[in-house]
Structure 1
Amino acid sequence: MSDPHPARTPDKEDKRTFLRKLAEFLHPGPDSTAELIETLAEAEDNNIIGAESRVMLEGVIRMADMTAGDVMVAATRMDLLDIQAPMDELINTVIDTAHSRFPVFEGERENVIGILMAKDLLKLRRAPELNIRALLRPAVFVPETKGLNDLLRDFRGNRNHLAIVIDEFGRVAGLITIEDVLEQIVGEIEDEFDIAEDEGDIFALADRTYRVSGDTPLERVNDAFSVSLNGVDPDQHFDTIGGLIAHQMGHVPKRGERYSVGGLDFLVLHTKGGAVKWFKVSPIADVDG
């Protein structure tokens, strides 16, 4: 006859040895973020995890302490659409900035009334009787103090991949996208303008012009083009060509803008996060010719 009350077997047998249990008792796991990150570095050194895995895990750990205000695009750098602007102006803005989503305001820039998907503008071409207001999607507003972990969960749940960040007074402080959050984990997400690091930050194009990344050191630009841009503003020191051009223009450059300095013509090809990603550079003599 079988035992009506058989002994319960544990759900999972603890297979750790006595020495392993003793070692874990004497040397408990990390109790701070810094120690945990140090442990990940040791794991990489011991070939337990790869370098990319370590970087991603560190990103996840660090992100736990970050907020929307830490990674947002500031309000002064936001590309917005005015709902009262002519259609041609709106389309030009969409093309020049190359974003897929745009906050739309009415009256003042602070008055964001919705989000416009760039692809929805195509509907106006097919159905002119529609108006932009009918195409707007609700804007999502989050406080600067919103944790990135919570924000990522919201993005995944509501399928709104852009949020307007507001400060403690209810004013627009900036915007943040799901890409901004994910980049804290996986690093910068490349787009069609990005090239591999080993291809360099200055390279020649077929039309005898050059593509130059905005974070190229100024000295490298001087050497590559046999110019001297260090003395353009003796009272200021610039590490990168993007910093110099932005200072000379007096504002954050936008795609399509052009500026000439030191015998070179700089055309802004692409911007991201309020900074120039790529310039197209030509000697001024070639431009004039």
Structure 2
Amino acid sequence: MSEPHPARVDREDKRTFLQKVAEFIHPAPDTKEDLIEVLSAAESNDVIGAESRVMLEGVLRLADKTAGDVMVAAPRMDLVDIDAPYDELLHLVIGTAHSRFPVYSGERENIIGILLAKDLLKLQRAPQLNIRALLRPAVFIPESKGLNDLLREFRGNRNHLAIVIDEFGRVAGLITIEDVLEEIVGEIEDEFDIAEDEGDIFALADRTYRVSGDTPVERVAEAFDVRLHASDAEEEFDTIGGLVSHELGHVPRRGETCVLAGLQFRVLHVKGGAVRWFKVAPAGADDAG
């Protein structure tokens, strides 16, 4: 007696054989590195674009990174003191241009909540309102938290900022959803990314200045009526970003400061290893950031 559905069995056998032949000719990638090489080949063959390859590689590498790898370290965190007056809070918001701020009480380690910049408008309309009533719950995560899991949590709730805690329970830093997404898509342009022809030095409401990192050193020196030069007289730099990077001795990180010719240059935004924007104020001036 013949077996039922012989034709279907033949087709299944034939398909499996073809799959084996295809895998023998073009074996499937066995490792993440192999898959990245496949993506690179796909770009070379115009199967996918360069931006698509970068994002796909970012997704693949995301699984290997933790919150501790990409967080803003504690010394560079912009924090709000719960007891600070309204004018000081407003000064900090204008100076840093962040949308969310960890709030502490007493010591900086004692994070009691998150303040949204837009909520300060409520204080302006109702000065008698207690700032504590505006705080959102703070989310705490360990340094070892995987970025894949963190991104899933960020997407699942409305808390797009988390406080990173080290193995001893101390505040190690903070991380935002933007920090995680930039690991996939690269630096995300924000309010600091404006066209070069729109200017390079801007006066801020708190009487400080925002200066583009690619502004010529001569222009900055002229604008602030100072002499700018490297500590090593033999070195010359075309842009203020290059000069500050040289003086720091490394690629500047957001929140770092450098004093030159009586001016404090505070790094506001870094993109592609270069400073896009500085906040500039007289050295020694009260800096709320």
**Change in 2 beyond 3 A, CA 1:129/1:6:** farther
Q: In the alignment, what sits opposite 2:180?
A: 181
> How far apart are 1:273 and its partner, in Å?
6.8
Deviation at 1:86, TM superposition (A): 1.7
Distance 1:129 1:190 in 2: 37
- The aligned length equals 255
Partner of 1:143: 142
RMSD: 4.1
Mapped to 2, the partners of 1:35 and 1:79 lie a distance apart of: 41
8 Å contact from structure 2 (residues 256, 267) kept in 1: no
How high is the sequence identity, in percent, across the aligned residues?
A: 64
**Contact 1:267/1:279 (<8 A) preserved:** no
Q: 1:212 to 1:169 in 2, by over 3 A?
A: same
Q: Which residue of 2 aligns with 1:162?
A: 161
User: In structure 2, what is the equivalent of residue 131 of structure 1?
Assistant: 130
What is the deviation of 1:52? Answer: 0.8
Name the counterpart of 2:86.
87
What secondary structure is seen at the aligned counterpart in 2 of 1:168? Answer: coil
> Which residues in structure 2 correspond to 1:203-242 (within 5 Å)?
213-214=212-213, 221=217, 229-230=229-230, 232-233=231-232, 240-242=242-244
Paired residue for 1:77? 76
Question: Alpha-carbon deviations, 1:212-260, whole Å to 9, x = none?
Answer: 643x59xx85899898834x1479999933324657xxx8239xxxx54
* Residues 269 and 77 (structure 1), Cα distance of their counterparts in 2 relative to 1, 3 Å cut: closer
CA shift digits 1:234-289 (9 cap, x unpaired): 79999933324657xxx8239xxxx543xxx86758603799532489xxxxxxxx
1:39 aligned counterpart, secondary structure:
helix
Aligned residue number for residue 245 of structure 2: 243
Distance 1:174 1:229, change over 3 A: same
**Would the aligned equivalents of 1:141 and 1:164 in 2 still touch at CA under 8 Å?**
yes
Q: What secondary structure is seen at the aligned counterpart in 2 of 1:79?
A: coil
Instruction: Measure how far apart 1:179 and its partner are.
Output: 0.3
When the two structures are superposed, what TM-score results if normalisation uses the length of structure 1?
A: 0.73
Superposition deviation, residue 173 in structure 1: 0.3
Alignment match, 1:253: 257
Deviation at 1:106, TM superposition (A): 0.6
1:163-194 CA distances to partner (integer Å, 9 max, x unpaired)? 00000001000000000000111111101221
Q: Deviations over 1:137-158 (max 9, x none)?
A: 1100000000000000000111
CA distance in 1, matches of 2:22, 2:269: 49
Q: CA deviation at 1:26?
A: 5.2
The structure-2 alpha-carbon separation of the partners of 1:211 and 1:35, relative to structure 1 and needing over 3 Å to count, comes to same
Relative distance call for 1:83 and 1:64 in structure 2 (3 A) is same
Listed as ranges, the gaps of 5+ residues in structure 2 are 204-208, 250-254, 281-289
2:268 alignment partner in structure 1 = 271
SS, match of residue 95 in structure 1: helix
CA contact (8 A) 1:73 1:273 kept: no
Give the counterpart letter for 1:252 in structure 2: E
1:272-287 equivalence runs, <5 A: 272=269, 277-279=276-278
In structure 1, stretches of 5+ residues that fail to align are 282-289
Q: Can you list the C-alpha shifts for 1:15-72, whole angstroms capped at 9, x where unaligned?
A: 9695554021454211112111111000111111111110100000011100000100
> Does the residue aligned with 1:49 lie in a helix, a strand or coil?
coil
Question: Is the 8 Å Cα contact of residues 123 and 129 (structure 2) preserved in structure 1?
Answer: yes
Secondary structure of the corresponding residue to residue 129 of structure 1: coil
**1:88 shift after superposition:** 1.3
Amino acid at match of 2:142: P
CA distance in 2, matches of 1:177, 1:187: 14
| Contact 1:110–1:172 under 8 Å retained in 2 | yes
In 2, Cα distance between the equivalents of 1:233 and 1:71? 32
| CA shift in 2, pair 1:147/1:86, >3 Å | same
Give the SS at the match of 1:240.
helix
